[in-house]
Structure 1
């Protein structure tokens, strides 16, 4: 199945030529493990993943409208905990109901639905055989006062396995004071998930107030998020979820109180391995996912005034950089269902379009 390029060009507007015609001069596409119908066999067959994990990964890649392409479209709805149910579902109260969440993923042609123990557990017998479940293991709860920012486990890997989940997901706030404990928690959970035959997806977020400096926010810098990705694949994440990079130079800008540099980097990261172009910034994220051996799915971001165009733009950048897809939630569920389905399909159409190629 192929999709026409005309609608994509229309949605990109003035960005169309810059994004669709760009040729990357940084890390060549020939050096990457690119998505394709044989991705699981071509890449993971050489790994230590068991046959049951390979089967689970293949189930993810075979689901929905993108099934058999090597690309992923995942609906993530854990915002009821992460951002509060009221803030997340008030725009469309239907999604207080877990069944509505799963049905949106199915009708929207997604490869999988990612959500909480509560949401997926409540409707597991009805839907677990119809669409792959990704159970999010940990969350940042938002009810403690004053608010704290930490990822804590809400259940066990065994619970996720018993409800029929194909994969588990987790978040680490790399750079935060709690990150060392989170790394240990997630490493143990992912090892257990692989023992039970499930795939693993890691939300590799950076979080530290020091990453905002000089009037700039480096939480989405390509160099910092790239290193977060590299730590994530080291923890045996099969798929990495990361925010789209918006800048670079985090390691250069962030300093300790005594003025010394934070972390370590190399000038070639900025002069040869990336540029200011969003495709090159995202390709650096892909490179840190073991040159694409672990698939990079970028997040769709918060809902706004131009959700459809923004989502398509993100998908084009991800695909042309060598990424594996999008994990898009609020843009889809904070609107009437038919509009949410149309938005999910528009993103999937980018990956189904043969004219949108690797840069």
Structure 2
């Protein structure tokens, strides 16, 4: 692919970087045999392994061990109007699933309502990932809390291969969210479904001179808590800085080595630290694509290159794809997948 067209002045900076913090030899990398090599020795049942393999086998990245997911739960998180007004055809759930299929995604992730509305037509055509909880923003004044809209059994009954949930680590509600989601993930594994955790930081105290909710040290610890409740795959925002622990007084525990030895300010090194906190890659790290903007195609390629070279498993990109005509959305998803299909882009 024409990487220089998208990476521009960062081409050498991103493609030639060698990670000297956490060696690539220590990372359990994605690959065609990931389920057998990494997941099979765990306590996951054969049914869970089968569900994971269905994710890995579908779409343009099928057989690579990498994932390209389309998530569309923003109709709840950000209101349907804010999410779909730029492209009203996506008020119709069928178009969401069609975009994921035509875009060559491994799976489509959305709400119980969206996937349930078309499950008999599409659940056998593309793996379904049902997002169980959401941040509801219709109450006034707005509050920020992840509450369960759906039950694990409902996802299983519609033929979903995986469930997902969000935890707002660092928030006053996080203790309850951890307990609720741990129970939900245990039940999903009992029924043979895979689990994906949105590991997000939310607390106004994390935002001062920088937005430390996307710092490598705090997001890394969120990832580590996520794999502690046996999330099979971790979704995390790509880090843009470091030093979240250091920005607050008397907060948590860290080590000087996190900043002097295990990280630099290079985005690949920062993301490598996220992978390390996913049990050195035993749980796959997929980074989020972020909000849509002026240069979405270049931003998507950049994010994918960083994730892949850091040892990540893939990308989960929604708004950049569905807030534009379907043909353009398919192109953007294919660009992301092309990064993972390009053998010249290697682990740093």
Query: Structure 2-normalised TM-score?
Result: 0.99
Which of 120, 123, 130 matches 1:125?
Answer: 120
How far apart, CA to CA, are the structure 2 residues paired with 1:217 and 1:199? 31
How far apart, CA to CA, are the structure 1 residues paired with 2:196 and 2:4? 31
How far apart, CA to CA, are the structure 1 residues paired with 2:150 and 2:333? 29
How far apart, CA to CA, are the structure 1 residues paired with 2:96 and 2:3? 27
- SS state of the match for residue 219, structure 1? helix
Q: Which residue of the partner structure matches residue 199 of structure 2?
A: 204
How far apart, CA to CA, are the structure 2 residues paired with 1:8 and 1:295? 24
Which of 71, 79, 89 matches 1:76?
Answer: 71
How far apart, CA to CA, are the structure 2 residues paired with 1:9 and 1:98? 36
Deviation string 1:117-144 (CA, Å, 9 cap, x unpaired) is 0000000000000000000000001100
What is the CA distance between 1:8 and its match in structure 2? Answer: 1.7
How far apart, CA to CA, are the structure 2 residues paired with 1:115 and 1:254? 35
- SS state of the match for residue 79, structure 2? helix
Deviation string 1:5-28 (CA, Å, 9 cap, x unpaired) is xx1222111110000010011000
What is the CA distance between 1:67 and its match in structure 2? Answer: 0.3
What is the CA distance between 1:60 and its match in structure 2? Answer: 0.4
Q: Which residue of the partner structure matches residue 182 of structure 2?
A: 187
Which of 11, 25, 29 matches 2:6?
Answer: 11
Q: Which residue of the partner structure matches residue 299 of structure 1?
A: 288
What is the CA distance between 1:37 and its match in structure 2? Answer: 0.2
RMSD: 0.5
1:163 aligns with 2:158: yes
Which of 315, 322, 333 matches 1:344?
Answer: 333
Q: Which residue of the partner structure matches residue 272 of structure 1?
A: 261
How far apart, CA to CA, are the structure 1 residues paired with 2:144 and 2:223? 20
Which of 279, 294, 297 matches 1:308?
Answer: 297
- SS state of the match for residue 285, structure 2? strand
Could you list the runs of 4 or more consecutive aligned residues of structure 1 that deviate by over 4 angstroms after TM superposition?
Answer: none
Which of 278, 289, 297 matches 1:289?
Answer: 278
How far apart, CA to CA, are the structure 1 residues paired with 2:125 and 2:238? 30
How far apart, CA to CA, are the structure 1 residues paired with 2:104 and 2:3? 18
Which of 247, 252, 276 matches 2:241?
Answer: 247
What is the CA distance between 1:148 and its match in structure 2? Answer: 0.3
How far apart, CA to CA, are the structure 1 residues paired with 2:56 and 2:69? 10
Which of 212, 219, 235 matches 1:218?
Answer: 212
How far apart, CA to CA, are the structure 2 residues paired with 1:125 and 1:82? 26
Q: Which residue of the partner structure matches residue 172 of structure 2?
A: 177
- SS state of the match for residue 213, structure 2? coil
How far apart, CA to CA, are the structure 2 residues paired with 1:301 and 1:55? 30
Which of 33, 37, 45 matches 2:40?
Answer: 45
How far apart, CA to CA, are the structure 2 residues paired with 1:306 and 1:201? 28
- SS state of the match for residue 297, structure 2? helix
Q: Which residue of the partner structure matches residue 107 of structure 1?
A: 102
- SS state of the match for residue 286, structure 1? helix
What is the CA distance between 1:254 and its match in structure 2? Answer: 1.6
How far apart, CA to CA, are the structure 2 residues paired with 1:145 and 1:8? 46
- SS state of the match for residue 177, structure 1? coil
How far apart, CA to CA, are the structure 1 residues paired with 2:289 and 2:210? 21
Which of 225, 228, 244 matches 2:222?
Answer: 228
What is the CA distance between 1:271 and its match in structure 2? Answer: 0.8
- SS state of the match for residue 346, structure 2? coil
How far apart, CA to CA, are the structure 2 residues paired with 1:302 and 1:113? 18
How far apart, CA to CA, are the structure 2 residues paired with 1:217 and 1:34? 29
How far apart, CA to CA, are the structure 2 residues paired with 1:55 and 1:33? 20
How far apart, CA to CA, are the structure 2 residues paired with 1:295 and 1:84? 29
Which of 306, 317, 337 matches 1:317?
Answer: 306
